[in-house]
Amino acid sequence: MYHRILPSDQVKPWVQAGMYVHPDTFEMHIRYLKQNFQVVSLFEKFSTIQAARNSESIRPACILTFDDGWRDFHEFAYPVLKRNQVPATVFLPTGYVGTNDWFWTDRLAWLLTDEIPPAMPDKPANPLLERIARTRGSFEERLEASIHMLKNRNDQEIEEIIAALMERVGIWETPNQRVFLNWEEVREMGRSGIVSFGSHTHNHRILVHLKEEEVREELVRSKEILIQEGVVNPTFIPFCYPNGNWNQRIVCMVREAGYHVAVSTGKGWNDGDVSSFELKRVAIHQDMTASREMFGCRAANIL
């Protein structure tokens, strides 16, 4: 499980350490995986005929996935995959494709890079905002604590906190720059046969916190857009749970929406008994996979 591929000089202060790998590190990962695994696509592994053929290999199967559809995937990951002829699946939050919108977690991180001034005496205090403002530690520690405080809140509460935080620090909008793929880039990569796509919902909302009608809207709308844009094969559309959160109610709704396989953020390998809608993955990021030895331990699920 990857997210972003970024050179060191493009890692902004607000980018979380667990979100990226450098391009040269990624190239090393690909070489290692080709030597030690059978790198296949989700479609290959979960289509009956090909799965049977793959099972004859003495090397374990490995599937590369990328969450969120970041713009840097096209610039830095795609050339490495194409050069090595290695397949990967990118999970797209369709409501963000081609926009300049940012996830709320990234807007929060961007705001937290500045010092938060004390509340104005004439402004009513928001207890949650004050807890965030009083959080101490490194940037990563403050960000993780703040995200944890907000993650179980509804969308309106989160937006109110971010708006209040922007007012407190005197910033009125996030940088006007596109950080996600656009549909032209998606279609270009899809035509290569190297990159395939799946759903990461429409608005990247955490499904376990939503009402059933809201979950259904996220699932159905995303699937319909992926089909309309011509970037998926309707006979096999994979799904990725935002933030890795799921329960059996969500699994049933993903099935009912017409998806064919789903991945979580549960750590580990998958054996023959695992449900195809509860697939585990091994998260990969720069700080724990910078050397071949570290990556080997991580890939083997012992780090």
- What would the pLDDT profile of 5-17 be if each residue is shown by its tens digit? 999 999 998 898 8
pTM, full prediction: 0.94
So what's the pLDDT on residue 248? 96
So what's the pLDDT on residue 49? 44
DSSP 120: P
User: Above 60 in pLDDT, residue 3?
Assistant: yes
Using a pLDDT cut of 90, give the percent of the chain over it.
Answer: 77
Pairing assessment for the beta strands 238-240 and 261-267 based on DSSP bridges: parallel
Sign of the dihedral through C-alpha 180, 46, 213, 250: negative
Q: What Å distances lie between residue 196 and 32, 179, 249, CA to CA?
A: 22, 19, 27
Q: Are 126 and 161 in contact (CB under 8 A)?
A: yes
CA distance from start to end of the chain: 15
pLDDT in tens, 28-72: 999 999 999 999 999 998 865 445 555 666 889 999 999 999 999
pLDDT in tens, 216-255: 999 999 999 999 999 999 999 999 999 999 999 999 999 9
Q: How far apart are CA 29 and CA 296, in angstroms?
A: 9
Q: What is the mean pLDDT of residues 282-290?
A: 96
Q: Are 92 and 186 in contact (CB under 8 A)?
A: yes
Q: Write b or e for each residue in 104-118: b if 16 or more Cβ atoms lie within 10 A of its Cβ, otherwise e.
A: bbbbbbbbbeeebee
So what's the pLDDT on residue 56? 62
User: Above 50 in pLDDT, residue 181?
Assistant: yes
Q: How far apart are CA 180 and CA 192, in angstroms?
A: 19
User: Above 60 in pLDDT, residue 100?
Assistant: yes
pLDDT in tens, 129-178: 999 989 999 999 999 999 999 988 888 999 999 999 998 888 878 888 99
Domains in the chain, start-ordered, CATH in brackets?
Answer: 4-100+179-299 (3.20.20.370), 104-169 (no CATH)
> In the numeric block, which tokens belong to residue 5?
């591929």
Q: What is the mean pLDDT of residues 181-186?
A: 98
Give the residue among 66, 40, 37, 63 at the shortest CA–CA distance from 52: 40
Q: Whole-number mean pLDDT of the chain?
A: 92
Does 128 or 195 have the greater pLDDT score? 195
What is the DSSP track for 9-39? GG--TTS-GGGEE-HHHHHHHHHHHHHHSEE
Q: How far apart are CA 100 and CA 91, in angstroms?
A: 18
Q: How far apart are CA 284 and CA 138, in angstroms?
A: 22
Give the residue among 207, 204, 227, 229 at the shortest CA–CA distance from 216: 207
User: Above 80 in pLDDT, residue 124?
Assistant: no
So what's the pLDDT on residue 273? 85
Q: Confidence class of residue 114 from pLDDT cuts 50, 70 and 90?
A: confident
For 49, phi and psi rounded to 5 degrees?
-65, -50
Q: How far apart are CA 88 and CA 282, in angstroms?
A: 14
